[in-house]
């Protein structure tokens, strides 16, 4: 039987249309903050998320820690928090429900381990309390365009297609999906080469006290562990990443393991916006989880009786497309601690570049940089902003600016921008970052 190349494409189910002020594509840290902020300002907001929960890379990808809150310092005696705003509120709610640990050491800075199940519940509660119309299990498949003006998006749901008509649309997909659908310019890593994905997993049955006594309190494992990995590679193990992070979690006897380095079977770097690469990353990621967990059980103190609890719902994707924005965060801005009059978010996080055989970390000490509003305004088109890791930024800048605390900050800012655009009838590209900065400070962001 041959394929009928003239077959009509049909979905005969009725199309539902929803009218709204703000449409948000994606419920990661950024999308959630956008939706809740805009709804609290009185906008009608619809959020669509392809999974049945919020959290994106932090939950589905099990990234598991909130980085980007604290200054890095050589002395490193106690954590100094320099990022505030929506993130404080979200983490406060996580803490109240027992879903957040105390700061743990990560090289010259600190991070907070969170419990992904609690994140889902806090996300649900925030959306419901703010009155956001949330459509889980809904994937954006098309953008509605009137010339160069975005009028919303169309979704695939199990009920059939849903069309959301919106005054302002936010691309918080992480992958700049909507910008790409519109055919507007995007960039991709270092000449197309993006940071490699990682399949994160949780290891149970660990004697955490013995583990800490052997390897210390820094969650970046010491050179001794890297040396053992190198040695094991010649003796029956396949462990492609030697420099690894292991985080004791909020649950007893558990480590969150950020250690795999996923490339294609032929050694190529994988890019998750290419469907075959995304699939290969899942295959290879799960295989590596078994290898690393076997190595931990056989080799590391405290892990002798351990087992794999679970992996991420999906492989963790660090980087795909970036929007080409009216401004671009430069690599040099990071280590220079650049500040901008229209800076709407702060970041003290290092360049943490996962490329090649071992991750490279370059520190910004006792300082932070700011991210300008224009990094979220596409160079082309109207009525659409981006939020989150798909901001306009150069390759190494993304390796810093993509972490969770910053994605909350971007979402907080873009939520205000969307509300301002709807309520005061200001085109999104005419919004001034300086004004957003003031609004953020009213919410406790402490930018000025």
Ligand X SMILES: Cc1cc2nc3c(=O)[nH]c(=O)nc-3n(C[C@H](O)[C@H](O)[C@H](O)COP(=O)(O)OP(=O)(O)OC[C@H]3O[C@@H](n4cnc5c(N)ncnc54)[C@H](O)[C@@H]3O)c2cc1C
Contacts to ligand X by CB under 6 A: 25-31, 48-51, 56-58, 60-61, 63-68, 139-140, 172-175, 177, 198, 200, 258, 316-318, 388-389, 402-404, 407
Q: Which is nearer to ligand X, 64 or 242 (CB)?
A: 64
Which tokens sit at 299?
A: 């080799």
Query: Which residue stretches of 115-236 are H helix?
Result: 116-130, 177-182, 208-215, 223-233
Least distance to ligand X, CB of residue 398, Å? 9
Least distance to ligand X, CB of residue 340, Å? 20
Q: Which is nearer to ligand X, 133 or 423 (CB)?
A: 133
Q: Could you tell me how many residues make up the chain?
A: 448
Least distance to ligand X, CB of residue 260, Å? 8
Least distance to ligand X, CB of residue 62, Å? 8
Which tokens sit at 395?
A: 């390759």
Q: Which is nearer to ligand X, 287 or 341 (CB)?
A: 287
- Contacts for 351-356: CB closer than 8 Å, 24+ residues apart: 351/396, 351/397, 351/399, 351/400, 352/399, 352/400, 352/403, 353/195, 353/396, 353/399, 354/195, 354/196, 354/198, 354/261, 354/318, 354/399, 355/190, 355/193, 355/195, 355/196, 355/269
Q: Which is nearer to ligand X, 414 or 447 (CB)?
A: 414
Least distance to ligand X, CB of residue 159, Å? 15
d(C-alpha 315, C-alpha 286), whole Å:
9
Looking at the DSSP bridge assignments, the partners of residue 325 are: 378
- φ, ψ (nearest 5 deg) of residue 226: -60, -40
Least distance to ligand X, CB of residue 125, Å? 17
Q: Which residues contact 278 (CB under 8 A, 6 or more apart)?
A: 270, 272, 315, 317
Least distance to ligand X, CB of residue 425, Å? 28
Q: Which is nearer to ligand X, 40 or 241 (CB)?
A: 241
Looking at the DSSP bridge assignments, the partners of residue 202 are: 256, 310
Which tokens sit at 368?
A: 């932070």
DSSP secondary structure string for all residues of 283-334:
HHHHHHHHHHHHHHHHHSTT-TT-EEEEE-SS-B----EEE-BSS-B-HHHH
d(C-alpha 250, C-alpha 99), whole Å:
7
Least distance to ligand X, CB of residue 5, Å? 28
Least distance to ligand X, CB of residue 377, Å? 16
Distances (CA, A) of 42 to 131, 165, 383, 396: 9, 18, 18, 37
Q: Which is nearer to ligand X, 100 or 210 (CB)?
A: 100
Q: Which is nearer to ligand X, 64 or 415 (CB)?
A: 64
Least distance to ligand X, CB of residue 352, Å? 8
- CB distance 145 to 384 below 8 Å: no
Q: Which is nearer to ligand X, 249 or 306 (CB)?
A: 249
Helices (H) and strands (E) in the chain, counts: 11, 20
Q: Which is nearer to ligand X, 31 or 253 (CB)?
A: 31
Strands 45-48 and 16-25: parallel
Least distance to ligand X, CB of residue 51, Å? 5
Q: Which is nearer to ligand X, 48 or 344 (CB)?
A: 48
Least distance to ligand X, CB of residue 266, Å? 22
Other CB atoms within 10 Å distance of the CB of residue 53: 19
d(C-alpha 50, C-alpha 138), whole Å:
5
Query: Helix-strand-coil percent breakdown of the chain, rounded to 5?
Result: 30, 25, 40
Q: Which is nearer to ligand X, 312 or 381 (CB)?
A: 312
d(C-alpha 104, C-alpha 107), whole Å:
10
Q: Which is nearer to ligand X, 193 or 227 (CB)?
A: 193
d(C-alpha 325, C-alpha 374), whole Å:
6
């Amino acid at each position: 039987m041959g394929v009928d190349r003239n077959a009509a494409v049909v979905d005969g189910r009725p199309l539902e249309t929803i009218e709204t002020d703000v449409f948000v594509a994606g419920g990661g840290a950024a999308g959630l903050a956008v939706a809740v902020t805009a709804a609290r300002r009185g906008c009608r907001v619809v959020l669509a998320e392809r999974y049945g929960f919020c959290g994106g890379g932090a939950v589905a990808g099990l990234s598991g820690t909130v980085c980007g809150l604290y200054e890095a310092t050589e002395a490193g005696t106690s954590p100094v928090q320099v990022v505030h705003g929506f993130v404080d509120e979200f983490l406060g709610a996580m803490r109240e429900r027992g879903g957040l640990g105390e700061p743990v050491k990560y090289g010259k800075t600190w991070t907070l381990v969170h419990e992904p199940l609690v994140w889902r519940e806090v996300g649900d509660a925030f959306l419901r309390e703010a009155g956001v119309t949330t459509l889980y299990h809904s994937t954006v498949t098309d953008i509605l365009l009137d010339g160069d003006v975005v009028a919303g998006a169309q979704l695939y749901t199990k009920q059939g297609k849903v069309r959301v008509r919106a005054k302002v649309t936010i691309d918080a997909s992480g992958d700049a999906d909507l910008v790409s659908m519109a055919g507007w310019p995007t960039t991709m890593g270092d000449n197309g080469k993006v940071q490699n994905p990682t399949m994160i997993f949780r290891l149970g049955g660990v004697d955490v006290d013995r583990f800490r006594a052997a390897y210390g309190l820094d969650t970046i494992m010491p050179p001794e562990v890297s040396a053992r990995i190198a040695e094991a590679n010649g003796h029956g193990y396949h462990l492609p990443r030697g420099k690894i992070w292991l985080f004791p979690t909020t649950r007893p006897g558990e480590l969150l393991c950020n250690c795999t380095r996923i490339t294609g079977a032929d050694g190529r770097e994988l890019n998750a916006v290419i469907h075959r690469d995304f699939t290969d990353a899942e295959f290879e990621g799960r295989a590596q989880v078994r290898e690393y967990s076997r190595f931990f059980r056989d080799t590391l103190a405290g892990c002798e009786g351990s087992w794999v609890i679970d992996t991420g719902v999906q492989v963790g994707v660090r980087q795909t497309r970036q929007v080409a924005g009216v401004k671009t965060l430069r690599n040099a801005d990071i280590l220079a601690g650049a500040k901008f009059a229209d800076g709407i978010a702060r970041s003290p996080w290092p360049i943490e570049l996962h490329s090649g055989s071992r991750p490279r970390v370059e520190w910004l000490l006792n300082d932070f940089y700011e991210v300008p509003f224009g990094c979220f305004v596409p160079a082309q088109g109207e009525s659409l902003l981006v939020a989150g890791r798909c901001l306009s930024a150069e390759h190494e800048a993304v390796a810093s600016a993509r972490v969770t605390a910053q994605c909350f900050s971007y979402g907080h800012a873009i939520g205000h921008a969307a509300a301002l655009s709807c309520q005061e009838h200001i085109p999104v590209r005419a919004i001034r970052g300086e004004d957003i900065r003031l609004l953020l400070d009213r919410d406790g962001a402490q930018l000025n």
